[in-house]
């Protein structure tokens, strides 16, 4: 069932709730998936139209050239880079094929655990009151479990919280003593305050057990192109991952984007600042919702706990969609206590965000009395 002309909003919700994309076809406001709405600019997209026939008919380049294109963009040598068909492809290789035992602080991006064999993934619960990572306790647990890979997402998904750079470097050093590789997922780093001071990309050469993963789909607003990369000074790790992915894992449109995007660095930086401004305005508005616990965000989404008297996250999500045609992400499927009390709300434009807050007040207000 994909044609909703004769379907109720309830039936439409049931269908959408089981999907993992294609939302743009169905005419609702998507505050669930995570976008940069201000990039890429039309001038960059025009390059696709100009070369459409050739991009469709011809083979794209292989991994070594694609890695060089990403390297030009981020200022790193290509042997340190592995480019994936989205970060999800790289996560699948790391969690599913390379790591013996893997440990992840939770709640976090579920795919790291989901992609690992059931007996290899270990979850390290974050303190529910703050959801901040104690890297010393995390390192100790990784050592006790003989973990070969430890994963930290910063800013974290769904909490939108950053782990300080000094903590992560200390973590990398501690894990090195246990032959454990630290994977730091920085997919949302470009939206954080002063990302150049938080990223570990310039520190990898001093830490051979460190790798950075980044989903360009999130930061650059190209979810449909599916580009992600892993960056590490550990050449053996890079070569091993590269050997597990197809020769042509990146399509011609993604290649064309990588060739043209360096000319739009200023536009990209401006877009990230606009996303951050919209997010900060949304944060302030959500703080006005009576009884809501709102965590100060660093990514392009906001994590919040519903008021005690309100309906559950799944029910609030359903009512927002059915009554207001807006879709948010509830956290019932995340590993955290009372997950059904939490929402992750993606920031969009300021007008859409303001409408979302008013709709949320309407949905939870009567339940708060």
* 187: number of Cβ within 10 Å: 23
Kind of pairing, strands 342-346 and 301-305? antiparallel
CA 212, CA 116: separation in Å to the nearest integer? 19
Would 9-40+266-368 and 45-263 be classified into the same CATH topology?
Answer: no
**H, E, C per residue of 293-314:** EECCCCCCEEEEECCCCCCCHH
Residues 6+ apart with CB under 8 A from 359: 320, 323, 324, 326
* Ordered per-residue pLDDT tens for the chain, 369 residues: 455 555 799 999 999 999 988 999 999 999 999 999 999 999 999 999 999 999 999 999 999 999 999 999 999 999 999 999 999 999 999 998 776 899 999 999 999 999 999 889 999 999 998 999 999 999 999 999 999 999 999 999 999 999 999 999 999 999 999 999 999 999 999 999 999 999 999 999 999 999 999 999 999 999 999 999 999 999 999 999 999 999 999 999 999 999 999 999 999 999 999 999 999 999 999 999 999 999 999 999 999 999 999 999 999 999 999 999 999 999 998 999 999 999 999 999 999 999 999 999 999 985 443
Residue found by looking up tokens 């990209």 in the block: 268
CA 17, CA 153: separation in Å to the nearest integer? 25
Return the pLDDT at 5. Answer: 58
φ, ψ (nearest 5 deg) of residue 82: -125, 125
Domain 9-40+266-368: give its CATH code.
3.90.1150.10
Q: Residues 104, 232, 200, 44: is their CA dihedral positive or negative? A: negative
Task: Spell out the domain ranges in the chain.
Answer: 9-40+266-368, 45-263
Instruction: Write out the H or E segment, with its range, that includes residue 185.
Output: strand 181-185
Q: Return the DSSP state at 202.
A: G
CA 127, CA 83: separation in Å to the nearest integer? 34
Kind of pairing, strands 81-84 and 228-232? antiparallel
CB 238 within 8 A of CB 98: no
* 205: number of Cβ within 10 Å: 12
Residues 6+ apart with CB under 8 A from 318: 13
Matching CATH number, 45-263, of 2.160.20.70, 3.40.190.10, 1.10.10.10, 3.40.640.10: 3.40.640.10
End-to-end CA distance of the chain: 39
**H, E, C per residue of 73-124:** HHCCCHHHEEEECCHHHHHHHHHHHHCCCEEEEECCCCHHHHCCCCCCEEEE
CB 34 within 8 A of CB 156: no
């Amino acid at each position: 069932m994909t044609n909703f002309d004769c379907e109720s909003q309830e039936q439409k919700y049931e269908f959408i709730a089981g999907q993992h994309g294609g939302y743009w076809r169905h005419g609702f406001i998507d505050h669930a998936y995570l976008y940069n709405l201000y990039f890429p600019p039309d001038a960059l997209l025009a390059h696709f139209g100009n070369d459409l026939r050739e991009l469709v008919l011809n083979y794209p380049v292989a991994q070594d050239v694609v890695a060089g294109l990403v390297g030009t963009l981020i200022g790193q040598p290509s042997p340190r880079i592995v480019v994936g068909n989205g970060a999800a492809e790289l996560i699948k290789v790391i969690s599913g094929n390379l790591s013996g035992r893997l440990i992840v602080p939770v709640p976090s991006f579920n795919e790291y655990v989901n992609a690992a064999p059931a007996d290899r993934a270990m979850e390290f619960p974050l303190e529910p009151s703050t959801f901040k990572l104690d890297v010393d306790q995390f390192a100790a647990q990784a050592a006790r479990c003989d973990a070969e890979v430890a994963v930290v997402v910063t800013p974290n998904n769904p909490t939108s919280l950053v782990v300080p750079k000094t903590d992560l470097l200390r973590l990398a050093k501690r894990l090195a003593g246990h032959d454990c590789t630290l994977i730091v997922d920085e997919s949302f780093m470009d939206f954080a305050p002063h990302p150049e001071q938080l990223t570990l990309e310039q520190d990898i050469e001093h830490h051979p057990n460190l790798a950075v993963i980044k989903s360009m789909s999130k930061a650059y607003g190209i979810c449909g192109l599916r580009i992600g990369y892993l960056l590490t000074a550990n050449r053996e790790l890079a070569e091993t991952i590269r050997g597990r992915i197809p020769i042509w894992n990146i399509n011609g449109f993604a290649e064309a984007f990588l060739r043209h995007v360096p000319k739009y660095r200023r536009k990209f930086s401006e877009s990230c600042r606009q996303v951050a401004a919209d997010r900060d305005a949304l944060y302030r508005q959500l703080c006005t919702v009576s009884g809501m616990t709102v965590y100060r965000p660093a990514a392009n989404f906001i994590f919040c706990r519903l008021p005690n008297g309100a309906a559950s996250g799944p029910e609030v999500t359903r009512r927002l969609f059915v009554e207001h045609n807006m879709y948010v992400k509830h956290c019932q499927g995340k590993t955290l206590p009372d997950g059904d009390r939490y929402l992750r709300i993606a920031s969009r434009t300021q007008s859409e965000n303001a409408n979302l807050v008013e709709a949320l007040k309407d949905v939870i207000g009567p339940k708060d009395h």
